[in-house]
Amino acid sequence: MNLMNAISPSHGLFADSDDRSLWLAFQNGNKDAFRTLYCRFFHCLVKAGLLITGNKEVVLDCIHDLFVEIWESRNNLSVPYSVRAYLVSSIRRKVIRCLDRMIDETSVSFREHNMVLSPEDEIVDKQSRSEREHYVLRALNCLTRRQKEAVFLKFYVNLDYSEISQKMSISKESVYNLISKAIDALRMELSPSSAEKLKRN
């Protein structure tokens, strides 16, 4: 399904409809209702996603995917007690799963103070172990103290997000946000161009 076609401008036939009526019309395949549903909750879903990660691109992608999924599975969906609560809960789960995939793909792991990032394998495989450690330790200096702590607890101590949340006395969403931003920073620092700069320094 082309989501952009589904949310193209309409005549606002459902602008005054309550959430339940809007949901029922959407389930019946009405694209005007679907567009109104998207527009009505878009901003609150962006806010909900940004509470978990500061990466707006990830949040927008997740919102797009969420609405594609609910459109395609509309015949199998029940009518939620609260449409807003259902969508907010869904986007939170989707953003968290997306961050989990990003973390898994990055394959960040601490082993006796040595960390290897899979996206940079082509770089680090050409370096000796001592050089890799040197580059990674230099890259880690770009992180804030809290980011270092969260990454260390996750990938070296192997704590889960709930345990890290308790250990650091912050919400689980804040833990996801810290680790997500840390990984983005490390990817940038360990990119080929940055690696060359580190080598020269």
Instruction: Output the CATH code of domain 3-104.
Output: 1.10.1740
Instruction: Return the domain boundaries, the chain.
Output: 3-104, 107-200
Exposure class string for 40-70: b at 16+ Cβ within 10 A, else e: bbeeebbebbbbbbebeebbeebbeebbeeb
pTM of the model: 0.55
Write out pLDDT tens, residues 19-62.
899 999 999 999 999 999 999 999 999 988 887 777 788 889 99
Residue 107 carries which DSSP code? T
- Per-residue pLDDT tens over the stretch 65-80: 999 999 999 999 999 9
The pLDDT of residue 187:
77
The 10s digit of each residue's pLDDT in 158-199 is 778 888 888 888 888 888 888 888 888 877 776 655 545 545
For the chain, what's the residue count?
201
- Long-range CB pairs of 186-189, under 8 A, 24+ apart, other chains included: 186/106, 186/108, 186/117, 186/139, 186/140, 186/142, 186/143, 187/106, 187/117, 187/119, 187/120, 188/142, 189/138, 189/139, 189/142
Q: Looking at the structure, give the CATH architecture of the domain made up of residues 107-200.
A: Orthogonal Bundle (1.10)
Instruction: Tell me the per-residue pLDDT of 100-132, one tens digit each, with 9 for 90 and over.
Output: 776 655 544 444 344 444 444 444 444 444 555
Residue 185, classified by CB atoms within 10 Å of its CB into exposed (0-12), middle (13-18) or buried (19+), is middle
Q: What is the largest CA-CA distance in the chain?
A: 65
Closest listed residue to residue 91, CA positions, set 68, 43, 59, 69:
59
Of residues 47 and 4, the one with the higher pLDDT is 47
